């Protein structure tokens, strides 16, 4: 195996149901329902998915949701902004833990 990730593996995702079909069925039904048009449009949901894909750094999801965002009518500026949202939250999540650091340091320091 040259690499753990291969683009041709992405279409094999559905094969995961061969292991635990009932659970996979529930998951894929849920997944489909989540991405259906609701209070949020499918385009907005796809942009959120793209941002999350970057936050969790999933190459499959980045590939799939880059294409999906374009197919839903988003443009590169919107997609880039969505990634900045993920980045801000990820960075912010680290930084906000500085409060804990400050609490602890404050408690034990003179």
Partner 1 sequence: MTNLQAAENLNSNLFQISALETFRRNLENNGLDLTRANCTTLQINVGLLCNQSCKHCHLDAGPSKKEIMSEKTVDDVLDLAGRFTFETIDITGGAPEMNPHIQTLISKLAPLTKTLILRSNLTAIAEREQVLLLQLLAAKKVTIVASLPSLNETQSESQRGKNSFATSIMTLKKLNSLGYGLPDTGLELNLVSNPTGAFLPSSQEQTEKRFRKMLAQKWRLFFNNLYTFANVPLGRFLTWLENTGNLESYILKLAANFNSCTLDGLMCRSLISVSWDGYLFDCDFNQAINLYMDGKKKHISDLKSLPGPHDSIAVAEHCYTCTAGSGFT
Chain positions contacting partner 1, by CB under 8 A: 37, 41-43, 67, 70-73, 75-78
Quote the least distance from Cβ 72 to partner 1, whole Å. Answer: 5
Name which of 5 and 93 has its Cβ closer to partner 1: 5
Quote the least distance from Cβ 36 to partner 1, whole Å. Answer: 11
What tokens does 57 get? Answer: 């750094």
Name which of 67 and 103 has its Cβ closer to partner 1: 67
Half-sphere exposure of 3 (CA within 13 A, CB side): 6
In terms of C-beta density within 10 A (0-12 exposed, 13-18 middle, 19 or more buried), how is residue 40 classed?
middle
């Amino acid at each position: 195996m040259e690499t753990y990730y291969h683009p041709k593996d992405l279409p094999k995702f559905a094969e995961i149901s061969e292991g635990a079909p009932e659970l996979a069925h529930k998951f894929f039904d849920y997944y489909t329902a989540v991405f259906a048009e609701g209070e949020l449009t499918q385009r907005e949901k796809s942009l959120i998915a793209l941002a999350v894909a970057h936050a969790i750094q999933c190459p499959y999801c980045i590939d799939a949701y880059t294409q999906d965002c374009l197919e839903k009518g988003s443009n590169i500026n919107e997609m880039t902004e969505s990634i900045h949202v993920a980045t801000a939250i990820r960075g912010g999540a680290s930084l906000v833990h500085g409060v804990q650091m400050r609490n602890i340091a404050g408690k034990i320091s003179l």
